[in-house]
Amino acid sequence: MVRAAILSAVGDPLEITGIELPEPGPGQVRVRLAAAGVCHSDLSLSNGTMRIPLPAVLGHEGAGTVVSVGEGVTHVMPGDGVVLNWAPSCGTCPACLGGEVWLCDSALAGAAGVHARTADGTELHPGLNVGAFAEETVVAANCVLPLPAGVPLTDAALLGCAVLTGYGAVHHAARVREGESVVVFGVGGVGLAVLQSARIAGAGQIIAVDVSPAKEALARAAGATAYVVASDTTAREIRGLTGGRGADVAVECVGRATTIRTAWDSTRRGGRTTVVGIGGKDQRVTFNALELFHWGRALSGCVYGNSDPSKDLPVLAEHIRAGRFDLGALVTERIALDGIPAAFENMLAGRGGRALVVFQDT
């Protein structure tokens, strides 16, 4: 038996309890978690904004050590450090064959499978494929990526979502160029990764926007050159900071209609607005036809940073080893499994960056 955080039904509190995991079958890997990040997507799963089969073990951002492998697994072996990949690509669907692995048609197919059982035999699904809110997990082999050399195992959990998403949003989706101005909405885990990535890209001006004045120090440490507390005049303030034009690039990491609209309004004529935040289907963003023509802005979504983890992890590892990207700076709280509900409350209240569940005896 291992301890895990289970969501039984939408809106229910998480239950921390023991679960029984099977031994890995063909093409599977058993991993002992070192750490798991508490992402806003986990909150969205718990409140029904995003839907998955339930009951499930939540958690999708994690890293740990291989305990055992099933038949046919050759890219990792027991004792190896690994990063969990919650959205593995199949390699055969039109998106994968077209080089857009982040849009893989079957990326979340594993979430429908039976992952584990409770002591009374209740079948559990792996939340977003990996079920990382547990001391151990069993995942498909393509959900496991070897830990790059020189990257701390515990903080490496952040590579599984926040960092790949933030880095990819800057380098793949928005394609920030040296000297451009960038405004980032939302200074949570992903937002902090976006700020660091914009700095790595050589952005000339990096503006952070958040509802909390308390996050200014976090934002500036991550690379922000200016900080704006969100209000009804945010777009006007950003235009004032950018010579009246607006930012070349806006990256929205919140997932709210009002924030997306403000990010669009903060972008210069001909600039790019990239939406990373995951909002509910009731969040409606409206534009009129004339403004779309007049402003000539590009508005795009961004899934998992439009990243290919197998290619991007080695690049990120080099930035980490060289001191250009600080994984630990994203973490504002290290907690145990039973601290996840409080971490959810902090996210709802707009407090802190990334909470990291750290497992003992890893």
User: What fold does the segment set 164-303 form as a domain?
Assistant: Rossmann fold (3.40.50)
CA-nearest of 341, 339, 343 to 354 is: 343
Question: Directed axis angle between helix 234-241 and helix 257-265, to 10°?
Answer: 30
Asked, colleague to colleague, whether 2-160+326-358 and 164-303 share their fold, the answer is no
Do 16 and 5 contact (CB within 8 A), yes or no? yes
Break the chain into its structural domains and give their ranges: 2-160+326-358, 164-303
Question: pTM higher than 0.85 for the full model?
Answer: yes
> In the prediction, which pLDDT does 48 show?
86
C-beta of residue 307 within 8 angstroms of C-beta of residue 138: no
Query: Which of 164, 167, 159, 169 lies closest to 276, judged by CA?
Result: 169
Q: What is the pLDDT, as a whole number, of residue 362?
A: 45
If you write DSSP's letter for every residue of 256-322 in order, what string do you get?
-HHHHHHHHHTEEEEEEEEE-S---TT------HHHHHHH--EEEE-SGGG--HHHHHHHHHHHHHT
Residues 156-172 as b or e (16 or more Cβ within 10 Å = b): bbbbbbbbbbbbbbbbb
Residues 6+ apart with CB under 8 A from 329: 192, 196, 218, 221, 222
> CA-to-CA distance for 200 and 310, rounded, in angstroms?
20
Segments in the chain below pLDDT 70: 361-362
Per-residue pLDDT tens digits for 29-44: 999 999 999 998 898 8
Instruction: Using DSSP bridges, classify how beta strands 205-210 and 298-301 pair: parallel, antiparallel or unpaired.
Output: unpaired
User: Which CATH class for the 2-160+326-358 domain?
Assistant: alpha beta
Per-residue pLDDT tens over the stretch 227-260: 999 999 999 999 999 999 999 999 999 999 999 9
d(CA 330, CA 219): 10
DSSP tag of 173: I
Sign of CA dihedral 24, 28, 34, 35: negative
pLDDT at 361: 56
